[in-house]
Amino acid sequence: MGSEMALAPHDIMRLAAHNDRETLFGDDAMWLCLTCETCSARCPNDVDPARVIDALRELAAAEGAGHSPRNVRAFHKSFLEQIRMTGRLSEVGLIMQYKLRSGALFQDVAASPGMLTRGKLPIVPPHISGVGEVRAIMAACERERVARAAAGQTGPDTHDGEGAS
Ligand code: SF4
């Protein structure tokens, strides 16, 4: 993915260290990152750019809709909502929520019948036994986010509401 990104991982790290949000949020690089973690695994300084980019995406989403493409925000929120509901990813639930949030109702719809018949899209969402613990963790993150916001601190938007949609 590096060839598609105008900013390399070390550029992103330098901009983040200088709190240059305008350059960071004005570029598509962090939205193109696939979180493959190659940069983190190979970093000679033992830092973790992939995690930093994750955090930057959360910050961009928290700071305003204009900072992130609508489809990326839609995917991000839909993914977290699936994890909160079942403790793991339900592909069908993710697709339905993503389509409603992004407005891309008919995108890739022709692929659905084949995937359903081959069993690639289980209709019944899978649940893990510890889903209550997952929800408790997410609720604790939300409480911390609200407390930070009340204290005037910016931080990752971990809530699953529609505020940044
Ligand atoms: S995790 Fe690092 S190497 Fe992988 S796509 Fe993102 S920036 Fe590039």
Query: Separation of 152 CA from ligand 1 center, angstroms?
Result: 31
Query: What distances in angstroms separate CA 20 from CA 9, 13, 84, one per listed residue?
Result: 15, 10, 32
Condensed to tens digits (0 to 9), the pLDDT of residues 79-100 reads 889 999 989 888 888 888 999 9
40 within domain boundaries: yes
**For tokens 């925000």, what's the residue?**
73
**106 CB burial (10 A radius; 0-12, 13-18, 19+):** exposed
Could you tell me if 44 and 109 lie in one domain?
no
| Residue 60: band (very low, low, confident or very high) from pLDDT cuts 50, 70, 90 | confident
Could you tell me if 59 and 117 lie in one domain?
no
Average pLDDT score over the chain: 83
Could you tell me if 39 and 56 lie in one domain?
yes
- d(Cα 85, Cα 112) in Å, to the nearest integer? 23
Could you tell me if 82 and 39 lie in one domain?
no
Query: Separation of 126 CA from ligand 1 center, angstroms?
Result: 29
164 within domain boundaries: no
Residue 126: give the domain boundaries.
Answer: 70-150
DSSP alpha helix (H) spans, the chain:
9-17, 21-25, 29-32, 38-42, 49-63, 70-86, 91-102, 112-117, 131-150
Last residue of a domain, one of 44, 63, 82: 63
Could you tell me if 6 and 31 lie in one domain?
yes
Could you tell me if 80 and 138 lie in one domain?
yes
Q: What is the value of pTM for the model shown?
A: 0.66
Number of domains in the chain: 2
pLDDT on residue 163: 40
Condensed to tens digits (0 to 9), the pLDDT of residues 103-154 reads 888 787 777 778 778 877 777 777 789 999 999 999 998 898 888 878 876 5
Could you tell me if 126 and 109 lie in one domain?
yes
Last residue of a domain, one of 48, 63, 78: 63
Nearest CA to ligand 1 atom 4: 36
Could you tell me if 59 and 77 lie in one domain?
no
Query: Separation of 85 CA from ligand 1 center, angstroms?
Result: 28
Could you tell me if 146 and 76 lie in one domain?
yes
The two tokens of residue 88 are 């793991």
Residues near ligand 1 (Cβ within 6 A): 1-2, 9, 33-39, 49-50, 53
**In this model, does residue 11 exceed pLDDT 90?**
yes
The two tokens of residue 22 are 């305008």
Could you give the dihedral angle defined by the CA atoms of residues 94, 139, 12 and 36, in that order, rounded to the nearest 10 degrees? -40
- d(Cα 32, Cα 129) in Å, to the nearest integer? 33
- d(Cα 121, Cα 33) in Å, to the nearest integer? 26
- d(Cα 115, Cα 106) in Å, to the nearest integer? 15
